[in-house]
Amino acid sequence: MKTPAKILAIDTATEACSAALYVDGVITEQFKIAPREHTRLILKMIETLLAQSSLKVAELDALAFGRGPGSFTGVRIATGIVQGLAFASDLPVVPVSTLAALAQQAHDNYQQTHVLSAIDARMGEIYWACYAKDENNLMRLTSKESVSAAESVVLSAGLSNSWCGTGSGWASYKEQLEVILGDQLTQIYADELPRSSSIVKLAVDAFQRGEAIEASQALPVYLRNDVAKKKAEQS
């Protein structure tokens, strides 16, 4: 459904760097897999999208970003940029889970309705969560977002006997996750990375439901709080 809104989203939580602009139902996107180049690329992507639509940041209704989980440094980059833009133009912010973005992509691209999203968290663990399609064709969280060993993943009970897996966690821990899902596993999309086009789609819905927040409240989600705390203490 086309919604009259103008929202810009960015994501730098993984090796992918992207920005997407939603203008009254139409989404345009800049996307590149470029590890360690996010800071250099993301501002140019934003500038390009806005110029293509003849818009200024202040003319947007809201900003959105991939709030994690993902790379600690990457999540901080997106958070800092969105906060800066939002403060400067007095715009609300919509944080969106990178795991939810992966699930939305699995539905939009492959018509999947029950998804186990997993991102490689390093240190022998994955970030993961379960999602199911709602009546508006948007993926909704049906479990907690967690970080754990792949062997500790638990599917949401009673929803479906057919699940797909998506995200880099599946590339690293395919065998362990296959054991957990067994014959409920229908498909794997291990090469998928979060994209701002999915983030902005979820953000528009959240914005229309009044879930946008002030820039000062737009915080990253690391899940692995002990690592985040140590990094913060070092910076």
Residue 70 in 3-state DSSP?
coil
Give the tokens for residue 95: 């944080």
Whether pLDDT at 219 is above 80: yes
Domain ranges of the chain: 6-97+194-234, 98-189
pLDDT digits (tens, 9 = 90+) for 166-194: 999 999 999 999 998 899 999 999 999 99
pLDDT averaged over every residue in the chain: 93
CA–CA gap between residue 6 and residue 203 (Å, rounded): 11
Topology annotation, domain 6-97+194-234: Nucleotidyltransferase; domain 5 (3.30.420)
Predicted confidence band at 224 (pLDDT cuts at 50, 70, 90)? Answer: confident
Task: Determine the average pLDDT of the residues in 123-139.
Answer: 97
SS3 115: strand
Distances 128 to 44, 155, 180 between C-alpha atoms, Å: 31, 10, 13
Please say if the pLDDT value at position 74 is more than 60.
yes
Q: Residue 157: its pLDDT value, please?
A: 84
The pTM for the full model equals: 0.93
What's residue 180's pLDDT?
A: 85
Considering the four listed CATH numbers 1.20.1250.20, 1.20.1630.10, 3.30.420.40, 3.40.190.10, the one that applies to the domain covering 98-189 is 3.30.420.40
Q: Say whether 98-189 and 6-97+194-234 share the same fold.
A: yes
Tokens of 222: 């690391």
- Which residues sit opposite 17 in a β-bridge? 32
